[in-house]
Amino acid sequence: MTKDPKTIPLGELCLSNRAMNCFKAAGLRTVGDLVAMSKSELLDMPGFGRKGLNECVAMLDAFGLTLKVDTPLPRYVAFYIEASAYNVIAERAYLNRRSIEGEIAEILSREAGGDNKPSGILDRLEALEREVTALKEARDD
């Protein structure tokens, strides 16, 4: 009776020490564990690179096995993720702008109240107005 190749322990194969150490760290023990991984998942493991990947692919090929296929995200999912990132950026810019506008209003109310504040307040006000303008322009782009 022929043994199922997926049940073979990785330690019984002639793999490099580096690859074996990476597999141990990731908790991979059998060929079946290995074929459940994709190329990108293996390459994401610390210390595992192209050379180890090529070694594994060749070993699996000898058994007539392959790694799990990487499935790219459907286009609409990638678009949704990108749009969500832009929304986060826009929200941060909006909140930052609201904070700056609040600071401007506070400065103006102090000036209107006749407080004798240092003249640097006007410089700060102008700097804040420039920041608001820059944020608005960035949002419009």
pLDDT bucket at 40, cuts 50 / 70 / 90: confident
Q: Domain range holding 122?
A: 75-140
Q: Show which of 62, 85, 110 is a domain's final residue.
A: 62
Instruction: Indicate yes or no: pTM above 0.85.
Output: no
Q: How sure is the predictor about 5, in pLDDT bands with cuts at 50, 70 and 90?
A: confident
Give the span between the Cα atoms of 115 and 109, in whole angstroms.
9
Kindly state whether residue 30 falls inside one of the protein's structural domains: yes
Q: How is the chain split among helix, strand and coil, in percent rounded to 5?
A: 70, 5, 30
Query: Which comes out higher in pLDDT, residue 91 or 65?
Result: 65
DSSP letter for each residue of 91-125: HHHHHHHHHHHHHHHHHHHHHHTT----THHHHHH
Residue 70 maps to a domain: no
Q: Tell me how many domains the chain contains.
A: 2
Residue-wise pLDDT tens digits, 52-90: 999 999 999 988 999 988 766 566 666 666 677 666 766
85-95 as b/e: b if 16+ CB within 10 A: eeeeeeeeeee
Residue 95 lies in a domain: yes
Q: What is the CATH number of the domain that holds 16?
A: 1.10.150.20
Cβ-contact 81, 52 below 8 angstroms: no
What average pLDDT does this structure show over 89-102? 70
